[in-house]
């Protein structure tokens, strides 16, 4: 750092305004440096007797394994199937038909109803929703946005799912354009706006909190030429990305309900994307056919790394990042009808951590539990599979604690002369062995057949 003793040096080169703009500072409130001639002279005389300043860089992520993106991969495949649910007549021809809230509830729309349930419980709620085309939970998990196409008009309804009894509806709001349904919707990170994508490619931003007055108009953007199939925000809601049926992906700046276009990604067919869970400037975009997965850096407009498949024997159907490990989950579907779809877990473009199979048809939706430890996959076979991604089942925590208590009690009783399990070889069992017992020879298909199918009707 060099400071020159020249009158008006800082004022001439406008360092103050440039740095404040770069750091996003508010002049009336924030101050990081003082740019004055007196300060310059004082600091120069002080630094002449001190050691030179050193710039120390401490990376927040240590990439010792030279991976393509920030990732903390699992050392081995430890995931397993926890439950399989039957989803009869689920609206698979829509794009945002199922969502998992931070409160732990899963909502899905079927042919004539909306079903809300909590995994590992018997609490199921069914509501009439014959004309619903898209749903999304807000960030707090207490409200559900529902897009309805009724009387040839698109409507937006906000369902209060945090109240008791559940099912309090807000005022229906008719959206524009008319005669085009909402094909996809999502909330922003603040929970104040709902972003709606329409069948004609239009994007409308509806302010939900506080309640809009009649004089407030929705912001509308016309960039896509086809039905919008995906809308996702980056981890800090700095960016937003949208995709349509023609393979066009647009990346936008998000600023309190207003969008500014940044760039466009063109694919030959359908494209899928997801933002990195803790690096806001990175997004993974996958071309469905031929398969090409690319890591894109938004500020530099450059592809950091990519993978391209030469063979045309399969397509990508969806993908999602795990927010804990940073692993990328990619769903493949094969042209050979006798080969079931696969779920690949990638730690890098050239590193496959795990391969999971259970569905009989194309996998079109991936959802993560609130804690990021469970993965739900939904396919055209009308089944929902809940995978325990990290191999630790939350439903068995109480059982494991009970086993540990029983093992501790048995060991203490054996020390005192009593015996619980007898004197046979099985008496040497401990809780750690019971806890780590897994049938490693069983395939995922065998595990799937051991679970009862619960119909969500």
Tell me the pLDDT band of 209, cut-offs 50, 70 and 90: confident
User: For the residues 14-31, what does the mean pLDDT come to?
Assistant: 70
Residues 193-205: tens digit of each pLDDT: 999 999 999 999 9
Between strands 383-388 and 248-255, the pairing is unpaired
pLDDT at residue 406 in the model: 61
- What span, in angstroms and rounded, lies between the C-alpha atoms of 284 and 234? 11
Query: Is a pLDDT exceeding 60 seen at residue 402?
Result: no
Of 330 and 453, the one with more pLDDT: 330
pLDDT band at 24 (very low <50, low <70, confident <90, very high): confident
Angle at 81 between CA 79 and CA 84, to 5 degrees: 155
User: Would you place residue 405 in the very low, low, confident or very high pLDDT band (cuts 50, 70, 90)?
Assistant: low
pLDDT at residue 123 in the model: 81
- CA-based radius of gyration for the chain: 27
Better-scored residue on pLDDT, 23 or 431? 23
Give the C-alpha distances (Å, rounded to integers) separating 66 from 139, 347, 405: 34, 10, 43
Token reading at 15: 């360092």
Q: What is the mean pLDDT of residues 395-418?
A: 53
Q: Which domains does the chain have, with CATH numbers?
A: 80-388 (2.130.10.10)
Backbone angles phi, psi at 43, to 5 degrees: -70, -35
Q: What is the dihedral of CA 210, 214, 219, 225, to 10 degrees?
A: 130
Whole-angstrom Cα distance, residue 86 to residue 93? 17
Q: What is the pLDDT of residues 263-284, one digit of tens each?
A: 999 998 899 999 999 999 999 9
From the number of C-beta atoms within 10 Å of its C-beta (0-12, 13-18, 19+), residue 414 rates as middle
Strand partners, 352: 346
Mean pLDDT, range 64-70, rounded to an integer: 86
Evaluate if residue 329 carries a pLDDT over 90: yes
The residues near 428 (Cβ < 8 Å, ≥ 6 apart) are none
Measuring CA to CA, how many Å separate 362 from each of 125, 145, 337?
Answer: 27, 26, 10
Which pLDDT value is given to residue 64?
Answer: 73
- The pLDDT value given to residue 32: 61
Per-residue confidence at 65, pLDDT binned at 50, 70, 90?
confident
- The two three-digit tokens of residue 122, written as one number: 């018997």
Average of per-residue pLDDT values in the chain? 80
């Amino acid at each position: 750092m060099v400071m020159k003793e020249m009158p008006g040096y800082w004022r001439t080169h406008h360092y103050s305004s440039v740095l404040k703009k770069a750091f996003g500072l508010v002049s009336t409130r924030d101050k990081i440096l003082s740019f004055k001639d007196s300060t310059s002279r004082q600091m120069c005389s002080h630094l002449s007797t001190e050691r030179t300043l050193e710039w120390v860089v401490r990376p927040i992520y240590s990439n010792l394994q030279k991976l393509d993106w920030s990732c903390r991969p699992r050392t081995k495949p430890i995931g397993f199937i926890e439950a399989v649910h039957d989803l009869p007549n689920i609206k698979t021809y829509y794009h945002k038909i199922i969502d998992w809230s931070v409160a732990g509830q899963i909502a899905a729309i079927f042919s004539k109803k909306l079903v809300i349930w909590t995994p590992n419980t018997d609490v199921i709620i069914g509501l009439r929703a014959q004309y619903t085309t898209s749903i999304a939970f807000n960030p707090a998990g207490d409200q559900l946005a529902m897009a309805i196409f009724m009387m040839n008009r698109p409507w937006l309804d906000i369902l209060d799912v945090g109240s008791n009894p559940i099912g309090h509806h807000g005022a229906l709001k008719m959206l524009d354009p008319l005669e085009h349904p909402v094909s996809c919707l999502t909330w922003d990170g603040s929970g104040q706006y709902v972003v709606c994508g329409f069948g004609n490619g239009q994007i409308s931003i509806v302010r939900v909190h506080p309640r809009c007055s009649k004089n407030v108009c929705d912001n509308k953007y016309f960039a896509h030429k086809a039905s919008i199939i995906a809308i996702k925000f980056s981890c800090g809601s700095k960016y937003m990305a949208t995709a349509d049926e023609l393979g066009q992906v647009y990346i936008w700046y998000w600023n309190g309900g207003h969008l500014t276009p940044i760039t466009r990604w063109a694919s030959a067919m359908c494209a899928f994307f997801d933002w990195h869970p803790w690096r806001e400037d990175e997004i993974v975009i996958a071309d469905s056919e031929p398969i090409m997965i690319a890591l894109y850096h938004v500020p530099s407009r450059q592809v950091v790394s990519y993978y391209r498949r030469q063979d045309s024997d399969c397509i990508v159907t969806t993908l999602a990042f795990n927010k804990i490990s940073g692993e990328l989950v990619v769903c493949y579907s094969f042209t050979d009808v006798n080969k079931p779809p696969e779920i690949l877990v990638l730690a890098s473009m050239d590193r496959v951590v795990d391969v999971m199979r259970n569905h009989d048809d194309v996998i079109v939706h991936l959802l993560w539990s609130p804690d990021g430890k469970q993965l739900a996959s939904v396919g055209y076979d009308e089944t929902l599979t809940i995978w325990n991604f990290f191999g630790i089942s939350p439903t068995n925590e109480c059982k494991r604690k009970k086993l540990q208590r029983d093992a501790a009690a048995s060991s203490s009783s054996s020390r005192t002369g009593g015996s619980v399990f007898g004197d046979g070889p099985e008496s040497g069992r401990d809780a750690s062995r019971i806890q780590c017992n897994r049938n490693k020879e069983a395939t995922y298909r065998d595990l799937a057949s051991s679970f009862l199918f619960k119909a969500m009707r």
